[in-house]
Amino acid sequence: NGYYWSRWAKCFHGSRDFSDMVFVDNYIFNKDVYIQFNSTVGEYVGYTAHGVHNAEIFNKDPNLLQQERAEVERYCKHNAQNRQSAIADKT
């Protein structure tokens, strides 16, 4: 009987050198993604009227886009390298 809002940031890769790393940042309302940033697209995409409106605003902010695009290196690759080295050190 209430509203549900969340934001999930995820990283995906298939190669050992992380060259295919993708960062996806989902904005979710009532369990539906309404706006998403995907590093392969490089900008926000809206999936609802509200999401399209916000995507247009977000995509006009070069600082916000630069920050999101940098998350592949700062967040994804950094954490993946730490996890990989922790696993490799124990095998």
For residue 69, give both structure tokens: 């695009």
Q: What is the pLDDT of residue 2?
A: 85
Model pLDDT for residues 44-68, shown as the tens digit of each residue:
999 999 999 999 999 999 999 999 9
Q: What is the pTM of this model?
A: 0.84
Q: Parallel, antiparallel, or unpaired: how do β-strands 22-29 and 32-38 relate? A: antiparallel
Q: Where are the domains of the chain?
A: 5-86
First-to-final CA distance of the chain: 48
Q: What is the pLDDT of residue 81?
A: 86
Model pLDDT for residues 11-23, shown as the tens digit of each residue:
999 888 899 999 9
CATH number of this structure's domain 5-86, picked from the four choices 3.60.20.10, 3.90.1580.10, 3.30.750.24, 3.10.320.10: 3.10.320.10
Amino acid (1-letter code) at residue 2: G
